[in-house]
Amino acid sequence: IKRVFSGIQPTGVPQLGNYLGSIKNWVDLQKDQSAGGDNPHELFYSVVDLHALTIPRDPKQLQKETFEMAAALIACGIDPNKSVLFRQSAVAAHSQLYWALGCITPVGWLNRMTQWKSKLQQQQQQQVESAESMVTESNFSRLNVHSNAAQGLLTGLFTYPVLMAADVLLYKATHVPVGEDQVQHLEFARDLVAHFNKQYKKKHFVLPTVMLTPSKRIMSLKDPLRKMSKSDPNEQARITLNDTDDQIARKIKKAPTDSISGITFDPGARPGVSNLLSIYAALRDTDPESAALAMQSLSNAQLKEAVAEAVISSLSPIREELRRLLGDQEHIERILGENEAKAQQVASANWKEIAKCIGISA
């Protein structure tokens, strides 16, 4: 039996990398049916809105995007009868455990996190750029600039991995299906487990294991050396679950490749072509090497057509389902309400034990 936890931030519409690197794995875990038809695994999937607060957000927008992310996950195939699908902020114990863990986390461990280091760099860069273009920017960016300028770098962004460790440990998750960019954070969580157990002389927490898919790192369609992200300011860099067929085809057509003739899989020398092959392979249930071999004599343009076809045929049913679900908001609210009660039950039982361990009241 696996106890699974994973999360996704409500920072926009899920992009192809989220789907192939993470969500597809979540859905597949639902399929491991036992002979009796019951799912042998306990699956917890969360829209992690507390994590999304690390970047200043318009409150209405955050609430809307949190809701839409839940709908998107259902459209991707998350079945709320097989998985517990919930908003992170609905379960108070995430924040409570976050504090407890933060109090035993050495600052040096957080300083080493590569996501923190790159976000730091990015923010400093953005601050300069947006200060220059504030006049024409939207309310949201103005809020962003204002807040950064007034408060400097925010603590939440720095302690993000502590909250992520709390998410996973709160459910005593044995398996955590994420993309490659989250591997370091999971290692941090494992270190914290050992640290906590030593500190309190209790073997309370379970060591969580990372689950990766073969497409654990889908790259940007603008710069194949950077990962695809839903919050990338350039919309052309990603394919999202609500892109139209035309938009998908156009974005793939414009993706950078190279002038080497023939198709080969070589991420080091040919990052653009190799990224397209990885996408194709993940959607057609093959591996990138075999896909390259089968398409070796195609031109880059022909490869792109094949990739676009594969993406469109997988994503268009999801897009239609998402549109349908968004038309029935009450249905989604009801599902979330029911699932949040289940998550709360598991989390608060565990939090009670942890609080006792530490010597505080639960």
Q: Which is nearer to ligand ATP, 161 or 351 (CB)?
A: 161
Q: Which residue from 231, 210, 219 is spatially nearest to 279, judged by alpha carbons?
A: 219
Q: Which residue from 286, 259, 284 is spatially nearest to 273, judged by alpha carbons?
A: 259
Please confirm, yes or no, whether 117 is among the known catalytic residues.
no
Take residue 36 and report the two structure tokens written for it. 């009796």
Angle between helices 300-326 and 329-358 (to 10 degrees): 90
Where in 97-156 is the site for ligand ATP (CB under 6 A)? Answer: none
CA distance 32 to 4: 13
The residues that bridge with 183 in the sheet, in sequence order, are none
Catalytic residue among 216, 230, 251, 304: 230
Q: Which is nearer to ligand ATP, 39 or 229 (CB)?
A: 229
Query: Does 292 help bind ligand ATP (rule: CB under 6 A)?
Result: no
Task: Number of residues interacting with ligand ATP: please give it, by CB under 6 A.
Answer: 20
Backbone angles phi, psi at 33, to 5 degrees: -75, 140
Backbone angles phi, psi at 47, to 5 degrees: -90, 105
Query: Does 224 help bind ligand ATP (rule: CB under 6 A)?
Result: no
Catalytic residue among 82, 227, 251, 304: 227
Query: Does 234 help bind ligand ATP (rule: CB under 6 A)?
Result: no
Query: Does 278 help bind ligand ATP (rule: CB under 6 A)?
Result: no
Site track for ligand ATP across 183-222, x = CB under 6 A: ---------------------------------xxx----
Query: Does 66 help bind ligand ATP (rule: CB under 6 A)?
Result: no
CB burial readout 145-181, b (16+ within 10 A) else e: beebeeeeebeebbbbbbbbbbbbbbbbbbbbbbbbb
Site track for ligand ATP across 1-30, x = CB under 6 A: -------xx-x---x-xx--xx--------
Query: Does 88 help bind ligand ATP (rule: CB under 6 A)?
Result: no
Please confirm, yes or no, whether 31 is among the known catalytic residues.
no
- At closest approach, how far in Å is the CB of 228 from ligand ATP? 4
40 three-class SS: coil
- The secondary structure of 289-316, three-state, reads HHHHHHCCCCCHHHHHHHHHHHHHHHHH
Query: Does 57 help bind ligand ATP (rule: CB under 6 A)?
Result: no
Take residue 57 and report the two structure tokens written for it. 């957000």
CA distance 342 to 321: 25
Q: Which residue from 174, 153, 152, 156 is spatially nearest to 48, judged by alpha carbons?
A: 156
Q: Which is nearer to ligand ATP, 12 or 100 (CB)?
A: 12
CA distance 238 to 218: 10
Applying CB under 6 A, which of residues 3, 24, 82, 230 lies at the interface with ligand ATP? 230
- At closest approach, how far in Å is the CB of 116 from ligand ATP? 13
Where in 153-182 is the site for ligand ATP (CB under 6 A)? Answer: 178-179, 181-182
Query: Does 251 help bind ligand ATP (rule: CB under 6 A)?
Result: no
- At closest approach, how far in Å is the CB of 38 from ligand ATP? 26
Residues that bind ligand ATP (CB under 6 A): 8-9, 11, 15, 17-18, 21-22, 178-179, 181-182, 216-218, 227-231
Would you please indicate which residues are annotated as catalytic (active-site) residues? 119, 227, 230
